[in-house]
Amino acid sequence: MWGGMYRVWIAFAVFLVAACAGDRPVQTSGLEFEPWSAESEEYRLRPGDEIELRLTYNPELNDRFVIAPDGTISLPLVGFVQVSGATPRQVQAYLTQLYAKELRRPEVTVIPRVFAPRRIYVGGEVETPGVYDMAGDTGVLQAIVAAGGFRTTAADERVVLIRRTPRNTPMMRLVDVRSIYEEGNLAEDVPLKGLDIVYVPRTGIAEAGVFVEQYIRNLLPFYPSVGYALN
């Protein structure tokens, strides 16, 4: 495990050197991160979401279900089913298979009805680092404001944004937040997704060790629960 973590630390050190050169987005797939991709993907369910289940030929089973913290819902006839991390269409296909063992015509429809707030991790040189639930459309600047804003030691022109891909691997890019509030460059205010990490490094490449300590030791341990594989 620690050998793999050491490789990640090296990746971050190399990343910070690249950051000083102003190279955005950062592509370090040869180390640990995949190239950044902003392409949209089908929504994946997560704990706190509410979905509606409809069975065309068995309407007595129709109901709404809130996804539990462990990612499951409890359904009549089939019991507990893990749905967190799957798309609605994937859940629909899987439930059709399960209900086929119990019903003659298991035509299932899954409809997302209520979405849980997106959980964002904000760390580094902000006043109140931590985990924030952000509702609606949220960009990097708004997440930093929610965390109390920048400290005077913040490198606000190279804020780190880390996101998991559909394959549960990490990708990373830099965001020039300074250009957002000084120049109105809204193209830099990247819309956030659930479980994104926003990290504000200190000014100066000499702070690479601080970045590794705060990010790797304090934030990364959350990620095995969502399927990140960094080794």
| Structure confidence by residue, pLDDT tens digits, 98-148 | 999 999 999 999 999 998 888 899 998 999 999 998 876 789 999 999 999
pLDDT of residue 172: 87
Average pLDDT over every residue of 71-96 = 94
Task: State which of 1-5, 31-35, 98-102, 166-170 shows the largest mean pLDDT.
Answer: 98-102
Chain centroid, CA 197 distance in Å? 7
Residues in a beta bridge with 138: none
As annotated, the residues of the chain forming the CATH 3.10.560.10 domain(s) are 2-40+117-226
Quote the DSSP letter at residue 64: E
CATH topology of domain 50-114: wza like fold (3.30.1950)
Compute the mean pLDDT over every residue in the chain, rounded to the nearest whole number: 77
CB-CB contact of 197 with 121 (8 Å) = yes
As annotated, the residues of the chain forming the CATH 3.30.1950.10 domain(s) are 50-114
Both tokens of 174, joined, read: 């830099």
pLDDT of residue 134: 84
pTM exceeding the 0.75 threshold for the entire prediction? no
pLDDT at 217 over 60: no
pLDDT at 43 over 50: yes
Average pLDDT over every residue of 22-45 = 61
Residue type, 131: V
Between 15 and 75, name the one with better pLDDT.
75
Quote the DSSP letter at residue 104: S
pLDDT tens digits, 55-77: 999 999 999 999 999 999 999 99
Question: Cα separation of 122 and 30, whole Å?
Answer: 26
pLDDT tens digits, 134-186: 876 789 999 999 999 999 889 999 898 988 877 777 888 889 999 998 998 98
Question: Cα separation of 176 and 12, whole Å?
Answer: 18
Beta-strand relationship, 118-124 and 197-200: parallel
CB-CB contact of 180 with 157 (8 Å) = no
Quote the DSSP letter at residue 5: H
pLDDT of residue 194: 83
Q: Please calculate the CA angle 221-227-231 and round it to the nearest 5 degrees.
A: 70
2-40+117-226, which class in CATH? alpha beta
pLDDT of residue 39: 67
pLDDT at 13 over 50: no
User: Which pLDDT band holds residue 20 (cuts at 50, 70, 90)?
Assistant: very low
Nearest CA to 110 out of 97, 96, 100, 99 is that of 96
Q: Please calculate the CA angle 86-162-203 and round it to the nearest 5 degrees.
A: 165
pLDDT at 35 over 70: yes
Nearest CA to 172 out of 1, 5, 10, 16 is that of 16
Which 3 state secondary structure label does DSSP give 210? helix
Nearest CA to 80 out of 94, 62, 93, 90 is that of 94
